[in-house]
């Protein structure tokens, strides 16, 4: 009888040790992997990179290589539709959010909240408050610019004074999809084949066949910046470029744009990988 009691106590101790180890492992995972950007490009404001990774919204300083957790979420943040992040399908669930000079706006459950910059708490928005998540912009009509039989994909994107337009044609056509750039004055340029990710006033960044390229708008020339990398998302503010692969490697890389004397982007300086 005493032997059975001894075995039972050892079993309890063993189970307790397993649970303790599991708790430590979960805490370590949340504190390390749980803080990474996981390939999502996020948004840049005043040189700071904001991103949501399924656990929280963070602010990352590319100069100091430091991050700060601003808004944390739990189960309800992980059960939203995966189509709602950045307006496209994302590999992990998330919440609608954005950031501007007023602070971070996010929808949690049925309400939208604002976390002002520097504040420790969020407040629920009222009907009279600014809500950039609810603002609707009428899409620009570019149907007259598209090739015959083509339809617009998504919405035209404005970079500086230039409109980036994606289109696709019904199956069986000689060209199934493509990109156009409408410059001021209605001048339209047919862009190279690739996935255009982001841009600024005089440059567009796109990914094609394992390489990251830049399309220089004034000269209408294409230059390769990096090769042998995987990129599906990107964002830039004209100084920094953040690229991400949320599917294959689940990582985000921070770059600094390198300019020549004429102000054209000629290269990238990698600051940090897997931030």
pLDDT value of residue 74: 62
pLDDT value of residue 89: 38
pLDDT, tens digit, 9 for 90 and up, residues 171-214: 655 557 899 999 998 899 999 999 999 999 899 999 999 999 99
Check if the beta carbon of residue 95 is closer than 8 Å to that of residue 73: yes
Give the separation between CA 135 and CA 138, rounded to whole angstroms. Answer: 10
* 55-62 mean pLDDT: 92
CATH class, domain 143-272, is: mainly beta
CB-CB neighbours of 86 under 10 Å: 18
Angle (CA) 101 104 107, round 5°: 140
Domain ranges of the chain: 1-31, 41-136, 143-272
Check if the beta carbon of residue 226 is closer than 8 Å to that of residue 202: no
Enter the pTM of the model.
0.78
CB-CB neighbours of 241 under 10 Å: 29
Q: Which residues have a Cβ under 8 Å from the Cβ of 79 and sit 6 or more positions away? A: 93
> What region does 72 belong to: left with phi over 0, alpha with psi -120 to 50, or beta?
beta
* 79-90 mean pLDDT: 38
pLDDT value of residue 12: 67
């Amino acid at each position: 009888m005493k032997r059975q009691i001894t075995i039972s106590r050892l079993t309890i101790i063993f189970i307790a040790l397993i649970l303790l180890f599991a708790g430590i492992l979960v805490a370590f995972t949340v504190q390390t992997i749980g803080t990474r950007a996981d390939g999502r490009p996020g948004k840049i404001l005043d040189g700071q990179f904001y991103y949501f990774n399924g656990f929280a919204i963070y602010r990352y300083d590319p100069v100091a290589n430091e991050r700060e957790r601003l808004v944390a979420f739990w189960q309800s943040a992980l059960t939203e539709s995966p189509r709602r992040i950045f307006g496209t399908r994302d590999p992990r669930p998330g919440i609608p959010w954005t950031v501007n000079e007023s602070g971070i706006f996010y929808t949690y459950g049925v309400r939208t909240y604002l976390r002002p910059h520097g504040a420790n708490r969020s407040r629920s928005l009222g009907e009279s408050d600014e809500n950039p998540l609810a603002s609707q912009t009428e899409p620009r009509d570019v149907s007259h610019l598209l090739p015959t039989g083509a339809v617009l994909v998504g919405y035209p994107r404005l970079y500086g004074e230039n409109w980036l337009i994606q289109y696709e044609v019904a199956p069986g056509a000689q060209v199934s999809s493509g990109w156009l750039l409408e410059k001021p004055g209605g001048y339209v340029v047919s862009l190279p084949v690739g996935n255009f990710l982001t841009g600024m006033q005089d440059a567009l960044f796109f990914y094609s066949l394992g390489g990251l390229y830049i399309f220089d708008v004034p000269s209408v020339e294409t230059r390769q910046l990096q090769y042998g990398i995987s990129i599906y998302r990107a964002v830039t503010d004209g100084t920094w470029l953040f690229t991400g692969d949320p599917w294959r490697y689940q990582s985000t890389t921070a770059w600094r744009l390198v300019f020549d004397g004429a102000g054209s982007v000629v290269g990238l300086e990698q600051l940090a990988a897997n931030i």
